[in-house]
Amino acid sequence: MSKKLKAVIIGPGNIGTDLLMKMQRSEWVEPVWMVGIDPESEGLKRAKEMGMKISSTGIDGMLDQVIKDDIRVAFDATSAYVHAENSRKLNELGVIMVDLTPAAIGPFCVPPVNLKKHASQLEMNVNMVTCGGQATIPMVAAVSQVQDVEYGEIVATVSSRSIGPGTRQNIDEFTRTTAGAVEAVGGADKGKAIIIVNPAEPPLMMRDTVHCLTKEKPDQAAITTSVHNMVKEVQKYVPGYKLVNGPIFDGNKVSVFMEVEGLGDFLPKYAGNLDIMTAAGLRTAEMFAEEAYNGTITLPERG
Amino acid sequence: MDLTGKKVTLHDMSLRDGMHAKRHQLSLEQMVAISTGLDDAGIPLIEVTHGDGLGGSSLNYGFPAHTDEEYLNAVIPKMKNAKVSALLLPGIGTVDHLKMARDCGVNTIRVATHCTEADVSEQHIGMAAKMDMDTVGFLMMAHMVSAEKILEQAKLMESYGANCIYCTDSAGYMLPDEVSEKIGLLRSELNPNTELGFHGHHNMGMAIANSLAAVDAGANRIDGSVAGLGAGAGNTPLEVFVAVLDRMHANHGVDLYKIMDVAEDLVVPLMDQPIRVDRDALTLGYAGVYSSFLLFAQRAEAKYGIQARDILVELGRRGTVGGQEDMIEDLALTMAKEKGLI
């Protein structure tokens, strides 16, 4: 059998298209279907030109092809409102769901921190948190893996051009979800998230600042090593993930200053915030594929 | 300029913008003393929260001496006539904070966004309006874009339910002609029932002149701060503005001697540093940089040996906006590395 997991992408917008371009280079995941709701949409036309099978009537337009085409993994880049139904229908057919919406019905997944655990347990729905979460939670975890963090705070600054109407209409969802994942995945007792939208032209690269308060005096050498190691882990799937300054220490406060440059596939390089979401989503599916190939997990039975 | 008989609603900032100058460390007793003094002087509206608004408590902006809830609960029950307002920056505070503020008795919610990003305020303005609060859309760093752009963004906030729109000179950069143009366009194009406000900073010494220009062009709410206690070189000093309005026979409803005494007896003694146009505050105005960056840049100068002025000018060149305080230490570190200081 082929080691590649066959995939459906739901949502042919910026995220879905960028994901498709990355997936075409993947050794572990093969894009087969692109699903939209508007037959006239640029995204669906583009996907068709790129050789994808397309449905313009949502996932209902392709559910009967899931088994025949051996679709094993789905990426949902639509909205929190429709995600639950998409996930239920595809999970029933044994398709693993990678959720790029803020719905978060499954556990949060930040690849270098907890993906291995989710994959080994064959979680059928994992949520990719938020762009700010993907960029910062690895750093919170790098500190909390060394010693207890009683408070973790992240500040994500994104270019105005890189955030769409969905995020803008519900920016509280970003702050709440990210803060929750700083705790649940980052390992801080209490989390806080701040997002700043900057309209400068030319657009600025995504910037992220992470502050942690450790319970005891920080072990500077161990934290510095842990941070550098974690940066390398993220760079495996986001090469433009860069430590600009830090870690710097001030009493029990540990601060790191990050920049995220995208690969510039479909989205411009400054949109590192979107790139890190698609790259993390793909990395997640690849890990499931690797584990299945190695026999550590067994994908749902199919007749 | 003839402001005879014009009604001006003065809005005090000392207990919110002033929190920047106090590193968010005002005590509950200080807040109560100043707010009751202002109430007694006839100030109709007083803003109370962390300097960065509801939910601003953070390592990035500074942890306050007390929570927003504690400050609001200390001040609001003591007010005889004055109402209390709270600031909220989407991306920092959430509708949960907004509901908390309403439950504490806050009358006015001011939802603040960068002047080009009004569409992040829809859920907060919508919620405040739905709860029947006095709902203000507050467009920050308004010097960075044209009057037409401000109008476009103001119309968005108006459409979400704001009954008042502010043109906010967060950097203290504007000169009176710019204020006249922006407020004038808003006045001619927004709904006639929508109130207009102006929030100034004194970094170029223009806060009084700009506030007068705003009133002349159609603004009826003017922010100021008793003794100027606020970020940068401070806000429009309210006691001075009251005296000027008095001379111009405008209708402001404030007792000049009483507010002078609040400034002199209560506010000046608690200042950690003189609130004046020093070279760094002047640089904020000159380079168009967010006023609350001042003390952060001065601390970075002390820590890394890079002049605050150089840091502020570079932040202006990069187009930083309100809330990007984290970039100050980051930039100081980068500049110090380049100079071989660390």
The answer to the question of residue B40 being in a domain is: yes
For residues B309-334, b (16+ Cβ closer than 10 Å) or e, as one string? bebbbbbbeebbbbbbbbbbbbbbbb
**B321 and A CB contact within 8 Å:** yes
The answer to the question of residue B265 being in a domain is: yes
Residue B125: closest C-alpha in chain A: A169
Q: What is the mean pLDDT of chain B?
A: 98
pLDDT digits (tens, 9 = 90+) for B4-30: 999 999 999 999 999 999 999 999 999
pLDDT digits (tens, 9 = 90+) for B168-211: 999 999 999 999 999 999 999 999 999 999 999 999 999 999 99
CA distance linking residue B111 with residue B90, whole number of Å: 7
Give the domain extent around B328.
292-338
CB contact under 8 A, B59 and A168: no
Q: Cis omega (within 30 of 0) on the bond before A202? A: yes
**B159 and A CB contact within 8 Å:** no
Model confidence band, residue A188 (pLDDT cutoffs 50, 70, 90): very high
Residue A297: count other Cβ atoms within 10 Å of its Cβ.
16
User: Do B251 and B298 belong together in one domain?
Assistant: no
Residue numbers of A annotated as active site: 131
User: Do B28 and B105 belong together in one domain?
Assistant: yes
pLDDT at B335: 97
Residue numbers of B annotated as active site: 20
Look at residues A97, A217, A213 and name the one whose alpha carbon lies nearest to residue A149: A213
- The pair of structure tokens assigned to A133 is 């979460």
User: Do B182 and B124 belong together in one domain?
Assistant: yes
Q: In what order do the strands lie in the sheet with A125-127?
A: A53-55, A29-35, A5-10, A71-76, A96-99, A125-127
User: Do B100 and B216 belong together in one domain?
Assistant: yes
CB A194 within 8 A of CB A113: no
CB A59 within 8 A of CB A10: yes
Average pLDDT of the residues in A55-70: 96
The answer to the question of residue B81 being in a domain is: yes
Measure B132 CA to nearest chain A CA, in Å. Answer: 20
CA distance linking residue B292 with residue B308, whole number of Å: 13
Q: What is the CATH number of the domain that holds B315?
A: 1.10.8.60
Chain A residues touching residue B327 (CB < 8 angstroms): 157, 207
**B278 and A CB contact within 8 Å:** no
User: Do B23 and B94 belong together in one domain?
Assistant: yes
Cα angle value A107/A103/A154 (rounded, 5°) = 70
Looking at chain B, list the stretches that DSSP marks H as alpha helix, in order from N- to C-terminal side. 17-21, 28-41, 68-75, 95-104, 122-130, 147-160, 176-189, 207-217, 238-247, 256-261, 279-287, 293-304, 308-317, 326-338
CA distance linking residue A149 with residue A213, whole number of Å: 6
Model confidence band, residue A2 (pLDDT cutoffs 50, 70, 90): confident
User: Do B221 and B311 belong together in one domain?
Assistant: no
Give 3-state DSSP helix, strand, coil % of chain B, rounded to 5: 50, 15, 35
User: Do B64 and B193 belong together in one domain?
Assistant: yes
Measure A163 CA to nearest chain B CA, in Å. Answer: 10
Given a cut of 70, whether residue A303 has pLDDT beyond it is: no
**B323 and A CB contact within 8 Å:** yes
- The pair of structure tokens assigned to B134 is 């006095």
The answer to the question of residue B164 being in a domain is: yes
User: Do B101 and B184 belong together in one domain?
Assistant: yes
Chain B residues touching residue A164 (CB < 8 angstroms): none
What is residue B178's three-state secondary structure? helix
Residue where the block lists tokens 């842990």: A226
Counting every residue, how long is chain B? 342
Residue B77: count other Cβ atoms within 10 Å of its Cβ.
10
User: Do B144 and B221 belong together in one domain?
Assistant: yes
Report the domain count for chain B. Answer: 2
User: Do B54 and B185 belong together in one domain?
Assistant: yes
End-to-end CA distance of chain A: 15
**B119 and A CB contact within 8 Å:** yes
Model confidence band, residue A164 (pLDDT cutoffs 50, 70, 90): confident
The answer to the question of residue B22 being in a domain is: yes
CB B26 within 8 A of CB B62: no
Q: Which of B52, B94, B111, B120 to mutate to test the interface with A (most CBs of A within 10 A)?
A: B120
Measure A22 CA to nearest chain B CA, in Å. Answer: 30
CB contact under 8 A, B94 and A172: yes
Residue B32: what are its φ and ψ, rounded to 5°? -65, -40
The answer to the question of residue B283 being in a domain is: no
Given a cut of 90, whether residue A269 has pLDDT beyond it is: yes
Look at residues A160, A29, A78, A220 and name the one whose alpha carbon lies nearest to residue B118: A160
pLDDT digits (tens, 9 = 90+) for B206-265: 999 999 999 999 999 999 999 999 999 999 999 999 999 999 999 999 999 999 999 999
The answer to the question of residue B213 being in a domain is: yes
Question: Mind giving me the DSSP string for A161-230?
Answer: GG--HHHHHTHHHHHHHHHHHHHHTT-EEEEEEEEEEE--SSPPPEEEEEEEEESSPP-HHHHHHHHHHH
CA distance linking residue A14 with residue A17, whole number of Å: 5
CA distance linking residue A187 with residue A191, whole number of Å: 9
CB contact under 8 A, A153 and B321: no
CB contact under 8 A, A172 and B90: yes
The answer to the question of residue B276 being in a domain is: no
pLDDT digits (tens, 9 = 90+) for A7-26: 999 999 999 999 999 999 99
ipTM of the prediction: 0.96
CB contact under 8 A, B318 and A204: yes
* A271, amino acid identity: A
* Domains of chain A in sequence order: 5-128+278-294 (3.40.50.720), 131-267 (3.30.360.10)
Look at residues A8, A200, A93 and name the one whose alpha carbon lies nearest to residue B145: A200
pLDDT digits (tens, 9 = 90+) for B75-116: 999 999 999 999 999 999 999 999 999 999 999 999 999 999
A32 exposure class (CB count in 10 Å sphere: 0-12, 13-18, 19+) = buried
**pLDDT more than 70, % of chain A:** 99
Chain A residues touching residue B334 (CB < 8 angstroms): 244-245
User: Do B200 and B330 belong together in one domain?
Assistant: no
Given a cut of 80, whether residue A1 has pLDDT beyond it is: no
CB contact under 8 A, B324 and A213: no
Average pLDDT of the residues in A47-63: 96
Q: How far is CA B178 from CA A297, B113, B247, B289, in A?
A: 66, 20, 24, 17
Residue A258: closest C-alpha in chain B: B330
From the list A160, A171, A244, the residue facing B116 with the nearest CB is: A160
User: Do B266 and B298 belong together in one domain?
Assistant: no
Q: What is the CATH number of the domain that holds B37?
A: 3.20.20.70
CB A73 within 8 A of CB A7: yes
Q: Cis omega (within 30 of 0) on the bond before A247? A: yes
